[in-house]
Each structure stands twice: as structure tokens, then as C-alpha cells.
Amino acid sequence: DAGVTQSPTHLIKTRGQQVTLRCSPISGHKSVSWYQQVLGQGPQFIFQYYEKEERGRGNFPDRFSARQFPNYSSELNVNALLLGDSALYLCASSPGTGDGETQYFGPGTRLLVL
Amino acid sequence: KQEVTQIPAALSVPEGENLVLNCSFTDSAIYNLQWFRQDPGKGLTSLLLIQSSQREQTSGRLNASLDKSSGRSTLYIAASQPGDSATYLCAVLGQTGANNLFFGTGTRLTVIP
């Protein structure tokens, strides 16, 4: 069974540009969460989506947005990129059947903003 | 706001040694605590999950304990191997209704052959 997949694996953008990152959850999982991991730090929660609805949002500016599709895949969009947005962006999926579920992480997308 | 701290930030041990990694958190209202492994430039691999009602979990050479009242968890690795070299992250899930994991900054472990 395939795990969580993310695309692209690496991305280089310049300041002010926009970027879209993609995530496909484990088959049967309905919940997708996004995290940002800056070098040397632990991941920070950005969004959670469940059944195409936003269920939680971390402390990130409105330049960050996300959506979930009917097949439960998800996109994270970041507008007006800043140098500080350079990070590993991780997607995690879980079944969505209850609280406190194990989250399964993808390999991440490494974004470099120049 | 939940804050998670991991000590030490880095650890270097000879192969075969037993070791303990520490994690502390400020808000004891948690659903569970997870330990993850992260290899350089890679995603996270879940090692152990302890529900808030549990005291410990074991998987092979790994044993994780949880003391919710004192806000502490430990990850014990027995008979360490060079393949155990990685960054170990501790994360707690709060009782907020969202899948918001709060992570520590990790302990970078190096096992010397």
C-alpha cells in the first residue's frame, strides 16, 4: 500500500512568487494536515482538512491557504513568498474516524525562496 | 500555548550503548504523545504513540514512557546501532479538536561504530 505522497520533492522560487504544493493521503484516509519545518526546528502546524472542510489552522498569515478535493488529496498554496518561507513542507494523513489518531507523514517538499 | 522541549539537543554514543532521550511539555491536557524519527532531509517516521491513559509503549528495542501529570516522556533505546543515527522528535496532540501536533526541536543522535 502506498504511503503519503507529496509533489514536487524540491522547488526553488523567488520572493513575491506563488507556489502550490500537493499531497495525496494514504488510501482510505480522509484527514490531511500540513506542517512547516524550518531548518533546525520541529514542524509547525499550518492546517488540517477533513472531508474537504478546514478543521484547524495554525498561526500562519493569510498568504497561506489550502484546500482538499473530493478524492481527499490536498493542495497548499503560499502567495507573495518571503525568504522566511524556505522550509520543508510536510503533509500528514490520518483516517479521520476519531480523535487522537496516528498521523502518517509524507517525505515532504523542500521549498527554497531566493 | 503548548510548548515542547527536548533535551539534549544532540547526543553521541558508541555502538551498543543504551540511551535515553527526554521530552517535556507544558500543558498536560493532551490526547497522546508520539515519538518520530527523521533522517536528514526526509519526512517523519512514527516510532511509538502513547495515549494519554497509558504509561508506556514498547516496540522492539524502543520503549517510551509517559508521565502526563509531570509533563514528561522518555524514549529509551536499547543496544544502539549505527542505523539508529537520526533526529528524534517528540510531539503531543492537544485536546483542541484539530489534529494539531506540537513538536519539540528534536534530539540529533549519532551512534558511533
The pLDDT tens digits along chain A (114 residues) read 689 999 999 999 999 999 999 999 999 999 999 999 999 899 999 999 998 999 889 999 999 999 999 999 999 999 999 999 999 999 999 988 776 788 899 999 999 999
How is residue A79 written as a grid cell? 502567495
Tell me, yes or no, if A88 comes closer than 8 A to chain B by beta carbon. yes
How is residue B63 written as a grid cell? 520503549
How is residue A100 written as a grid cell? 487522537
Residue range B48-69: mean pLDDT, rounded = 95
- Cβ–Cβ below 8 Å for A104 and B46: yes
**Residue with more model confidence, B28 or A79:** A79
How is residue B88 written as a grid cell? 528524534
Work out the burial of residue B75: count CB atoms within 10 Å of its CB; fewer than 13 is exposed, 13-18 middle, 19 or more buried: buried
* 8 A C-beta contact, residue A26 and residue A1: yes
Q: Which of B100, B102, B105, B108 to mutate to test the interface with A (most CBs of A within 10 A)?
A: B100
For residue B111, what pLDDT is reported? 97
For residue A99, what pLDDT is reported? 67
Task: Name the average pLDDT for chain B.
Answer: 93
* 8 A C-beta contact, residue B107 and residue B24: no
Residue range B71-77: mean pLDDT, rounded = 97
Residue carrying the nine cell digits 507544558? B26
Tell me, yes or no, if A11 comes closer than 8 A to chain B by beta carbon. no
Work out the burial of residue B24: count CB atoms within 10 Å of its CB; fewer than 13 is exposed, 13-18 middle, 19 or more buried: middle
